[in-house]
Amino acid sequence: MTGKNHLDKRIFELHARVCKALSHPKRLEIIDLLRDEKEMGVSEMAEKIGITKANVSQHLSLMCQQNIVKTRRDGIAILYSLANPKILLAYDALRKALKEQLEVDGKLPGKF
């Protein structure tokens, strides 16, 4: 396998892992919150999303493992932010495509 093919395979693997990590609606809500707030603690996210702090923490842990979000300690508080703002480009592009599909077809593919 050439160097380029090896790099492509590695990128495909990473891409799939990030997509899998983003395959939960609450994780997408977290991304949307962090877009506006830049940094946020678990308690505030839990309140805004309407789930328990433990559940938010589980989602954030998985997102940290895939380098989607990062942490910063502020005294005793741990604040979360997007690890790379370019994640929003992919998030926004897919959202835009889905909204357009809803407007044209009135539905999205798959079961709901």
Q: Say whether pLDDT at 110 is over 70.
A: no
Q: At what angle do helices 25-37 and 42-49 cross, to 10 degrees?
A: 120
Identify the DSSP state of 48.
Answer: H
Higher pLDDT, 45 or 38: 45
> Which CATH number applies to 3-101: 2.40.50.140, 3.30.930.10, 3.20.20.70, 1.10.10.10?
1.10.10.10
φ, ψ dihedrals at 77, nearest 5°: -85, 145
Amino acid 73: pLDDT: 96
Q: Which residue ranges make up each domain of the chain?
A: 3-101
Amino acid 77: pLDDT: 94
Token pair 């946020």 is at which residue?
A: 40
Q: For residue 80, how many other CB atoms are within 10 A of its CB?
A: 26
- Average pLDDT over every residue of 3-30: 91
69 near 80, Cβ under 8 Å? yes
Query: What percent of the chain has pLDDT above 90?
Result: 75
Beta bridge partners of 77: 74
Question: What pLDDT, in 10s, does the model give residues 62-98?
Answer: 999 999 999 999 999 999 999 999 999 999 999 999 8
